[in-house]
Structure 1
Amino acid sequence: MPLSTPARIVSELASRGYNAEPAAVTRLAGAPESETALERALETMPDDALKLTVDHVDSVLDRSESRAAATSTPGQDAETGASAVTSATEPEDPSVSTGTEPPNSPDVGDGVPVETKGSRDVDISKRAIEVANDMTGDSTGTGEYNDFVQVFRDRYEKLASKLRGRVNHRPTDAIENMAGGSEAALIGMVSDIRSTASGHWLVELEDTNGTFPCLVMKDRPIADLVQQLLLDEVIAVDGTLADDSGILFVDSLHFPDIPRTHSPSTADRPVQAALISDVHVGSQEFMEDAWHRFTDWLHTPEAEHVEYLLIAGDMVEGVGIYPEQDKELDIIDIYEQYEQFSEYLKEVPGDMEIRMIPGNHDAVRLAEPQPGFDEELRDIMSVHDASVHSNPALVTVEGVTILMYHGVSLDEVIAELPDEEASYEEPHKAMYQLLKKRHVAPQYGGHTRLAPEDRDYLVMEEVPDVFHTGHVHKLGWGKYHNVLALNSGCWQAQTEFQKSVNIDPDSGYAPILDLDTLDMTVRKFT
């Protein structure tokens, strides 16, 4: 079987103790019979040589072409010497659902990947991609009090607009002047949740005019919904005022939510996207072999329709992210980590469209929304013209709207809500909660750092067709009101820190999304 890709050639050379000039690898990858050419090049290398040069490869290929031209016969191709009618079968790389393992990939060792070119029959003129909600370069927040007021007002107005059709909303100051026993409805931001001595729930809601207490009785069916609430999210309630008009007894509670009638868009042709996250290059536990298997697979006919690669953050391991991280680093300089990630990205087919957002391990501010990389990092990350957008970003790929968010707030959702509503074992269920709240990080002042901007970039104004996150290193997916929610796992084996906090990662998986049907196949490369 031909080696077919520069990555495979570099791997084979490294396994035999050789290095090579990048141009030599490129020439071998482009040879009609790359495996035979490599063998001939190694056989004819001087005994004391450890590096394969482009001049040596050119001399081997020139001799091979001369022999092929001299010996070609009718029924054979004069360029390759192969039979004019041939058939070949490639071993299928099974999906994770089969429980079987992919073919082994040789170790790369110290070989340096060469940036691959467009090696597949892909018509890039059919591609269409748009990005919205990217705040890179547009940050306005200064941390002043008024900035925080502005971003919370914007959140309230955007989410209240999703709720006004469900209840007959009255501002808090108007409700205060209503007669006792009146029916009333309120849209507000959750400012406090506490239980009473009798076990009922007291939820205080705030709008732009003030605050008002709302009581949810423990024996009402909606009492379970209170346990799904987070501070600072926007909800609507309706019910009956107490006799003194000092409290609202809640009969129903509404979230902004995704409409049950949402009909997702699909692409007009058979095309696929690989959705991955949390590569963590620079960690001692980065799964190099699994990555090589993945990129090798992308060059196979089986992956010919995979034209997009979407990476939801944490391209590198970073520095100083958690206690004693330095003991688990393979590369201790953050810029060298990105340089190495770029080397690995070279193995991806050059005709793929690559879009990325940062995560909490990347070299941007921790507070969300996170802008894309600065110019220095963008220069390092220029392989295949990959684009880096802010976290979160709304990426529309051939009509399919994909909300990409790294997912730091999932930790908070899982910590605050009951296990049946959100857990690390089923991360997509925590994502359902964010879809229900129409906000990727509703709670301010907790684990998730939030930055004030001129508007709230974290609100889900538009209903996505796909919601793609990472961060928690667990694989999980499902549909909520016809929105596909996916957490894509990671490319890092369990670290000592993860052991200490009982995280068992799902590593080496690549979810492949059919954009024309929104069906998904998860492939395993470990």
Structure 2
Amino acid sequence: MPLEAPARIVGELTSRGYNAEREAVTRLASAADPGAALERVLEDIPDDALVVRTEHVEAVLSADGAGGPVGASTDAGADAGSAATTEPSPADPSATPSVSTGTDGARGSEPADPSPVETGGSPSANRSADPAQRSLEIVGDMTGQSTGTGEYSDFVSVFRDRLERLGSKLRGRINHRPATAIQSMPGGSEVAMVGLVNDIRSTASGHWLVELEDATGTFPWLVMKDRDYADLVEELLCDEVLAMEGTLADDSGIAFVDSMHFPDVPRTHEPSTADRHVQAALISDVHVGSQEFMADAWNAFADWLHTPEAQHVEYLLLAGDMVEGVGVYPDQDEELDIVDIYEQYEAFSEHLKKIPGDIEIVMIPGNHDAVRLAEPQPGFDEELREIMSAHDPQIVSNPSMVTVEGVSVLMYHGVSLDEVIAELPEDKASYDDPHKAMYHLLKKRHVAPQFGGHTRLAPEEKDYLIIDEVPDIFHTGHVHKLGFGKYHDVLAINSGCWQAQTDFQKSVNIDPDAGFAPIVDLDTLDVTVQKFS
């Protein structure tokens, strides 16, 4: 038997939509006629099986006898088969995975360092759409575009850009004036201003004082506590862009607010949809390397993608935290199953290979990934991209806009959601309803408006965190909670996670929604949730 026989067997199996246990491939390779043995196995294997297992091969070899035309060529091969009938625990990344290897025949007989091959298309899923019908476009990927050095001028540039671009969405609604011009107007004048929220504080009598800043200076605006819109002040974050209209006090030193305007998503927004029935799976926070990574749930998800039920799932959008990382939170090393960051990504790649190869994959980084913490986060460096090359995924920055068959999806990992939930009242934003916190980011047209808080922000020549164009879908992760809903016809989805509750999460009272995969019909924007845990 030629040395490359195991690799040929693997290739034949994957071309027919099957994975295989390593020992099953070894037993097939040791048969007197591997080709005939393979055909017999595929004839006898159950119709719903996706993985060729050792017992399937053994049943065929035993039926034909060791000396028959498809029998094992050596007794040693039979011994190896009997010694490998117990599958390893999926929680042990060093154990032999229950999929075939992509190594050549010289190493195919060695039990060490097995590596699952990438699966091809899945015949059982019948995912047979013409590739020419697919379209995937990336907008706003800032990987390789970072110019910030941390100088004062960088901070000036990014805030000027924010004020100009978001201000342009507001200036047409009001008769705005610069701060210095308002200061020189007579008392009693009707005035309006567009600016960054510089400060928010309450007065002794319970009113609110909001200070707006533009390129010329600052001006204070008083929101009376008994006005209908007073509760909007509770939604404000420092550094967001806002427009206010009102009346100047007699001494012109302050303005009484009559109305507030946010950049917001227009109520007339009409989302785009795909021209055919096609679906996308939206997931995030896999956290490979953690002791709590749910390998069984992930494998069930990957297996499901090979079934007819998932035949319309042609895209997989992964919103960050592929791995658990190292040193992300106190005493994290005590909760790691894999302590080397590169080995974590290698393990993640092995799990990614279980996804059908005819699914298009887009990935952005998160705060646990090996990229800079400050947002926007460029996509991974070349070394990590090479490790995660299974199925040739599109790896882009956090955030990025992805247009899938005409449907725009804003992918953002979601670190700023912690800040929104902490700053806003519980009835407006909470971990139990993460999509409602996402509504506020859409309203502000910025994924991380507040500078200097929990979310680390990197100054650049332009503000890559602005939501310039209204997306059809807004996809985040990070908070490990599942939630979805619509805001002005924008579908907001936080997709949960693939990590069971860690000790750290217990200490901060986070009960994760793990093992879920929201599936979006791109032709209708309807959502169904598949549960795998």
Cα-to-partner distance string for 1:372-421 (whole Å, 9 max, x where unaligned)? 00111111111110121000000000000000000000000000000011
Cα-to-partner distance string for 1:152-171 (whole Å, 9 max, x where unaligned)? 00000111011112211011
Q: How many Å separate the matches in 2 of 1:161 and 1:81?
A: 67
Counterpart selection for 1:434 from 436, 441, 448: 441
Q: How many Å separate the matches in 1 of 2:405 and 2:284?
A: 21
TM-score, with normalisation over the residues of structure 2? 0.84
Structure 2: gaps (5+ residues): 51-86, 98-114
Partner SS for 2:30: helix
Counterpart selection for 1:116 from 105, 115, 119: 119
Letter in 2 for 1:116: T
**Aligned residue in 1 for 2:182:** 175
Cα-to-partner distance string for 1:448-497 (whole Å, 9 max, x where unaligned)? 00001110000001000000000000000000000000000000000000
Letter in 2 for 1:367: A
Structure 1 residues 359 and 58: alpha-carbon distance in aligned structure 2, compared to 1, 3 A threshold: farther
Counterpart selection for 2:367 from 360, 363, 373: 360
1:378 aligns with 2:381: no
Counterpart selection for 1:521 from 519, 522, 528: 528
How many residues in Structure 1 have an aligned counterpart in Structure 2?
468
Report deviation, 1:301: 0.9
**Aligned residue in 1 for 2:478:** 471
Letter in 1 for 2:426: D
Correspondence 1:331-342 to 2 at 5 A:
331-342=338-349
**Aligned residue in 1 for 2:57:** none
1:212 and 1:247 in contact (8 A); partners too? yes
Structure 1 residues 249 and 488: alpha-carbon distance in aligned structure 2, compared to 1, 3 A threshold: same
**Aligned residue in 2 for 1:400:** 407
Q: How many Å separate the matches in 1 of 2:306 and 2:299?
A: 11
Cα-to-partner distance string for 1:139-190 (whole Å, 9 max, x where unaligned)? 0001100000000000001110111122110111110111100110111100
Letter in 2 for 1:198: S
1:422 and 1:430 in contact (8 A); partners too? yes
Structure 1 residues 114 and 138: alpha-carbon distance in aligned structure 2, compared to 1, 3 A threshold: same
**Aligned residue in 2 for 1:143:** 150
Letter in 2 for 1:118: G
1:194 aligns with 2:197: no
Q: How many Å separate the matches in 1 of 2:256 and 2:195?
A: 15
Q: How many Å separate the matches in 1 of 2:463 and 2:137?
A: 20
Correspondence 1:274-313 to 2 at 5 A:
274-313=281-320
Report deviation, 1:60: 4.4
**Aligned residue in 1 for 2:36:** 62
Q: How many Å separate the matches in 1 of 2:452 and 2:494?
A: 24
**Aligned residue in 2 for 1:17:** none
- Aligned-residue sequence identity (percent) comes to 70
**Aligned residue in 2 for 1:16:** none
Letter in 2 for 1:207: D
Letter in 2 for 1:113: P
Partner SS for 1:383: coil
Letter in 2 for 1:110: T
Partner SS for 1:205: strand
Correspondence 1:440-451 to 2 at 5 A:
440-451=447-458
Letter in 1 for 2:260: L
2:28 and 2:34 in contact (8 A); partners too? no
1:24 and 1:52 in contact (8 A); partners too? no
Structure 1 residues 57 and 107: alpha-carbon distance in aligned structure 2, compared to 1, 3 A threshold: farther
Letter in 2 for 1:52: T
Structure 1: gaps (5+ residues): 1-19, 43-50, 69-78, 92-104
**Aligned residue in 1 for 2:271:** 264
Cα-to-partner distance string for 1:75-117 (whole Å, 9 max, x where unaligned)? xxxx9599xxxx97899xxxxxxxxxxxxx9965522422101
Q: How many Å separate the matches in 2 of 1:58 and 1:474?
A: 53
Q: How many Å separate the matches in 1 of 2:522 and 2:380?
A: 28
TM-score, with normalisation over the residues of structure 1? 0.85
RMSD after superposition: 2.6
Correspondence 1:85-104 to 2 at 5 A:
none
Letter in 1 for 2:36: D
Partner SS for 2:497: coil
